[in-house]
Each structure stands twice: as structure tokens, then as C-alpha cells.
Structure 1
């Protein structure tokens, strides 16, 4: 997504999060068991301030978090939103900034990450306070699906294998996930996950042995696409929330081996807590 668009989405979801959270800071958050809305707001604010420190200092903070126990959650969020926006406005997306994702050490990585962090937690706050959910734009949702599959799952399973060892399948399974006109080929194996975006266009870059997958029907009981074990299909917003485990198991359409679909959702658990 373009920088301007990410900044627009980030600002809109920050404002909505604050509005919704102010209705009931004591409400429990279904998507974050054990948290109240106040704790959710404090978490988002501290995440923002951590990224501000990364960009300002050019390194990860050596001690974290700071003691902000005396600051009211919404006031802390306001302060953090202003600080984060100021850093993004002052820096080009290509400027260097330390991140946990080795292939991308830029401000742009944090801009995308904060936009996606905020939209998911905005939904958390809406669910917690039983307020009408605001639609997630298709472009933001599609970008978020790509992030959670390629980076959180694909990169995460190989960077932190110990966290995923218990949820990866043996033997391997292969799925196609489709949202709108975009598809991802996902291969889950004991050694980690491999994810290829738009497999119909980029199958040549897939690792040897993966299947060129064509998006197909994804109604329960149908046939999976391209020889994959299963296919999953939903609108971008629906698929994003399902991958982040913010919706029911049956919130997406599927075809093929239901166990493979369930395995993908299980494999995402360590990455989407």
C-alpha cells in the first residue's frame, strides 16, 4: 500500500479505537483473553512508543517498557498517537529503522505494522464494547492478509521455530487462500511455512515441489483448487479477521480437507496472540 494510504488508515483506526474505548474501559476483550479495554489501550500506546524509540534512537530499546502506570490509558494513547505520527511525518519510508523482520529494516515496515496493529485492535475494542464494527477497507485488509501469512507465519515459523513446533503438521499440507482477486499458496511442513503471494503469477518463484494453484470454488464440500489439500475463500475483511482468530472457525468458505483448514488456523495461533 502507498504511504499516504497507510497513514490515512492508521489515523482513522486510531480515532475509532479511542472513541470506542472511551465507552467502557472496564469491558473484557474477547480477542485478548484476560485483558480489559483499558489494558488493550495501554498495550497499543506502548507499542507506538516502542516504535517511536526505535526510530529516534536507531536501535531497539535496551529496557522496556517505561513506567507509565500513573498515566490514564486514553491520555497515554493520545500522547503515543501524536508521537508516532510525528516520527512518521519526519521520516521517509525508506529511511533505516531497526525491526524484528530481518529482510526489512525501514520506517516503512513500522508504518505498515502499526496500521495493521491498530485495525485489529480497533476491532477488538468494538467487539469488547459491543459497538457496531467499522468496515475494514479491502486494500488495508488485503495488505494485512499478506503480512500475517508471509511475515508472521512464513518468516515467523523459521525465525522462531520453537514457538511453532507444536502446531505445524507432519506430513506437510498445502492450501490456497483467496481474498477478492488476490491469492496465497501456503505450505505448512514440520520445518516451517512457505507462502507465495499470487501463486498463479509467481509459481516460478515457489520452492521446488510446490503446486501451481489456481483460485477456485471454496464452498464447503467442493473441490480444492489446483491439487491443494484445501482452499479458503472470503472477502478481504472476513479473511483477515479469521486469520487473526477474531472470528468463528466457520467465518470463511472452504473446500477440500477441513483438517488442513483447521491446521492453518492452529498454526497461526502463536503469531496472532
Structure 2
């Protein structure tokens, strides 16, 4: 899912949009740059230092000698991204566990997809970002459709987390979001990508959507409410549609902790966190529900709506333009 600005994999007429995890310690050999990416059913990567014999190491120019010196964990970051997004490997593990035994189930929030398609899509997304960090380009990374999608997901997750562990969040890497070309962008984006697709799997399995930590969900709300104004100006056809539905209106999107005021103009959208303003409608829910609503995984019936419900309905329709 996402804005569709990076590569695209197409299968049987269905578009897989690789744009749409972090926080689990990995073990990296500093000599040969290999990783132990073994993930158990709980999404935990083995943390026992992995050693390599000298003739197995692929690098001959490192001053390190076997047994390899290894590093674990993500680098320290002043922006708090690791603490906010810790445990996203467990989110992917939840997705895998829900999908296990249900791969033929349809996914109601991703029409024409089965659970296998959903799991394989997330693996494609991870591989795409891993390739971008390794090679410095957002090439179209396609995943073979042969084999077990759950195994493919676990392998792709391990590779992605390994790349995150080897880099600082502020390091440069290509992204589709022009104003943020950092590894931290992908750490955040993949966290929320996984949360939303785990919700897809839960809905396909007939299960309620599991809540996430309020801070993480609030960050997910911030993320998409940052993408929407960008998308309106970056893709004028989206701006015209949203403006046609809502120009001249305001709405407030609120959780018990925070309130964002959305003002829609004919050619742009303003988002401000404020208690001021007189919106036509206020839409309120807990942070997890607001995040899932913005991605259209729950509908207006899940929200407390005060004011002009028609504005809320039109906003919800407009969200289709942004990957929901």
C-alpha cells in the first residue's frame, strides 16, 4: 500500500505497490558483513553472537580476524525512533501467525487479494527497501511467487532488519518522499506498513484489530497526515479530487491526547495541532482506531463524530486517494 511513488510489482492483474520493522537486535559480523537472520515464531531474531571461520568470510580486507567481532542492536538515535518503533518484528510475526493456515482467505480491505497475496506483498515491500539501502536506488524488486509466502516474509524481514541494524536512522538512503531521504524514514514507514497490513490479516481472519501502543499509533496518525498534504500538491489530480469534495471545509481529527485541525483548500491542505478553530466536524477515537480509520481499515461507524457528518463522509471518501 502507500502513495505508489516507488516500484510496482504486478501479478495476475493485481497491482502490488511496494511503498508501503525495526527495533529487534541483530547480530552482524563486522568482518564479512553477514547476519544471523534466523527468526522464530514469535518474531525474535537469535541474539547469540554468530561466528565465521576465516575461509568462510567473504571479505579479505577487514582488519578483524575470526572469530568475528559482532555488534548487536540499532545505533543510538537522538530522535527516539527506536523507542517508538521497537518490536516491529513482532508485528510481522503476528501477521505470519494470523496468515498461517489461512492463505486462501480473501482480504476484504484489499479487494482481489488472498491472505497469501497480502503476506507476499509485505515481503516484496521489505525486499524493495532492503535493495534500496544496499544499492542506493529504488529499483523494482520482484519476489518469485513460488514457495511459501510466510517463509518469504520471514526471510525478507530478517534482511530488512539487518540493513536497519547496520545503519543510523539519519543516514542517507533513497526514498520516494523528497523531503526525507533517510533510513529513519523507512524505519518509520515500514513500522506503520506492517501495522496496517497486520490489521488486514486480522480482518480477513474475522478477528478484531489489535491495538498498538498509543505513542506508536499517534506517530502513525502524524505520518499519514504528513503524507496527505504532500500528496495533494505532488499529484495535482489528487488535489483536484480532494478539493472538489471538501474545499472550504475544516475538520478536527482527535484522540484523547491530541487534536489535529485539517483545513482543505482548492489546491492544498493545512494540518495543525491546535485546540483553536471551529471545525465543521470533529472525529474522535483512540489512537489505534484513528490510525486505522485514516487508512480506511475501519469506517466512520468506529468513530465518535460530532458536527456535520457529511463532511466526515466526504473526507473518508477522499482518503481513497492516499492508499486507503
Matching of residues 191-206 of structure 1 within 5 Å: 191-196=267-272, 198-200=273-275
Change (3 A) 1:17 1:170: closer
User: Aligned-pair RMSD on alpha carbons?
Assistant: 1.6
Q: Deviations over 1:24-60 (max 9, x none)?
A: 0000101111100000001000001101111111121
Alignment correspondent of 2:309: 258
Normalising to structure 2: TM-score of the pair?
0.72
Alignment correspondent of 2:233: 158
Q: Aligned equivalents of 1:87 and 1:174: distance in 2?
A: 41
Alignment correspondent of 1:112: 188
Could you tell me whether the CA contact under 8 Å between 2:127 and 2:160 is conserved in 1?
yes
Q: Deviations over 1:62-99 (max 9, x none)?
A: xx232512232112101100000000000000000111
Q: Where in structure 2 are there 5+ consecutive unaligned residues?
A: 1-78
Could you tell me whether the CA contact under 8 Å between 1:9 and 1:140 is conserved in 2?
no
- Per mean C-alpha deviation after superposition, the further-off stretch among 236-245 and 108-117 is 236-245
Task: State the structure with more CA Rg.
Answer: 2
Deviation at 1:134, TM superposition (A): 2.5
Alignment correspondent of 2:41: none
Change (3 A) 1:256 1:133: closer
| Larger relative helix fraction | 1
Q: Aligned equivalents of 2:121 and 2:221: distance in 1?
A: 22
Q: Tell me if 1:46 matches 2:124.
A: yes
Matching of residues 204-215 of structure 1 within 5 Å: 213=276
Normalising to structure 1: TM-score of the pair?
0.85
Which one of the candidate residues 184, 195, 209 is aligned to 2:260?
Answer: 184
Could you tell me whether the CA contact under 8 Å between 1:23 and 1:129 is conserved in 2?
no
Alignment correspondent of 1:228: 279
Q: Deviations over 1:243-266 (max 9, x none)?
A: 111112221112221121112212
Moved segments of 4+, more than 4 Å = none
Could you tell me whether the CA contact under 8 Å between 1:30 and 1:127 is conserved in 2?
yes
Equivalences, count: 245
